[in-house]
Amino acid sequence: AQTVTQSQPEMSVQEAETVTLSCTYDTSESDYYLFWYKQPPSRQMILVIRQEAYKQQNATENRFSVNFQKAAKSFSLKISDSQLGDAAMYFCAYRSRTSGTYKYIFGTGTRLKVLA
């Protein structure tokens, strides 16, 4: 069974600095999707960035980028130039692409604090 692990329950970063959130996963599948979602205090989850496993190039969305290491089954999120609005819970998620199955597995989350 697939699992997603976020080993950092909480992280802190100084405003304008860079922070990296870790995510590892376990799967026997070769093709899948990976996502990072943000959950601010308002509770509503928002997609931050996504990656297709067959693509070697790391996804980038403005200040957010990922370091996707398929062999190591690692999918870390880097936030550059951190802003106060980045403070939130961040969830890593795995989505299976195996035909006939539906698996969308979330990690337990990392709470990011941004210090002014």
- DSSP secondary-structure letter at 52? E
What's the token pair of residue 78? 């880097």
Q: Which of 27, 75, 87, 107 binds other proteins (CB under 8 A)?
A: 107
Name residues whose C-beta falls within 8 Å of residue 59's C-beta, 6 or more positions apart in sequence.
Answer: 49, 50, 51, 65, 66, 68
Query: Shortest Cβ distance from residue 107 to other proteins (Å)?
Result: 6
The stretch among 18-26, 57-65, 76-84, 103-111 that binds other proteins (CB under 8 A) is: 103-111
Q: Which of 43, 62, 71, 116 binds other proteins (CB under 8 A)?
A: 43
Residue 63 in the binding site for other proteins (CB under 8 A): no
Cα separation, 15 vs 13, in Å, equals 6
Identity of the residue, 93 or 114, whose beta carbon is nearer to other proteins in the bound complex: 93
Query: Shortest Cβ distance from residue 29 to other proteins (Å)?
Result: 13
Query: What are the counts of helices (DSSP H) followed by strands (DSSP E) for the chain?
Result: 0, 12
The DSSP line for 73-92 is TEEEEEE-S--GGG-EEEEE
The stretch among 12-20, 45-53, 62-70, 79-87 that binds other proteins (CB under 8 A) is: 45-53
Residues that bind other proteins in the complex, under the rule CB under 8 A: 4, 33, 42-47, 50, 52, 91, 93, 95, 97, 102, 104-109
